[in-house]
Structure 1
Amino acid sequence: MDRHHLVPRTFKGRAQFPIHKICHRKIHSVFTERELFKTYHTWEALQAHDEIRTFIDWVARKPPEFYTSTATSNAKKRR
């Protein structure tokens, strides 16, 4: 388990929430800190994003101890 700040610490976020390590890595591979701060600072907003929703559906079929490295999203690389 990791701890995720819905509002990034860079932007003075304080509240932390437990999240599976692979899910935490995926969130940070898709979004910049600024995107997390401006748009994706709620669980609902994160889950509504197509790439995150697809990932959640995929990882939900894996055993709890499943882990693999997470590549940075091509969309994030182009920013």
Structure 2
Amino acid sequence: MARKRRDDWDIDEPEEQAPPPTCWLCGRPTGATLVWHHPVPKSRGGRETVPMHAICQNALMTNFTNSQLERIGMDVDQLLAEPVIDKFVKWVAKKDPDFHAAPAKKGR
């Protein structure tokens, strides 16, 4: 059996990776951490998932109840019409895709 010379080795070239999906809420490319969010909560019968940043998901969960999210459904424009979410999206647009801020602690 003949030995393979170094020139005969099959060296796999790195495959081109697909660009990361964009966040459903803010529209920025997702970073290393990707969250699959249910726009209609699972407890309310939601089955579809969308890619989001963890910080964007936290903003939604902080500002809306499950009932409100169920009524809004998959309509991201209705979420962006809310002043709190609009302000958040404008703020986070300047951040790195992997940016994450810890939730603020409540003062006692």
TM category (shorter chain) comes to 0.7 to 0.9
Name whichever structure is richer in helix by fraction: 1
> Which protein is bigger by CA-based radius of gyration?
2
Runs in 1 of length 4+ with deviation above 3 angstroms?
none
TM-score by length of structure 2 reads 0.61
Choose from 64, 74, 79 the match for 1:31: 64
Extract unaligned runs of 5+ from structure 2.
1-33
**Are positions 1:22 and 2:55 aligned together?**
yes
Distance in 1 of aligned mates of 2:61 and 2:81: 16
CA RMSD in angstroms, aligned pairs only:
1.5
3-state SS in 2 of match to 1:18: strand
Aligned length: 71
Q: Percent identity of the aligned residues?
A: 34
Measure the CA separation in 2 of the matches of 1:36 and 1:45. Answer: 10
> Which segments of 5 or more consecutive residues in structure 1 lack a partner in the other structure?
72-79
Q: TM-score, normalised by structure 1?
A: 0.82
Q: Which has the higher contact order (CA 8 A, sep 6+)?
A: 1
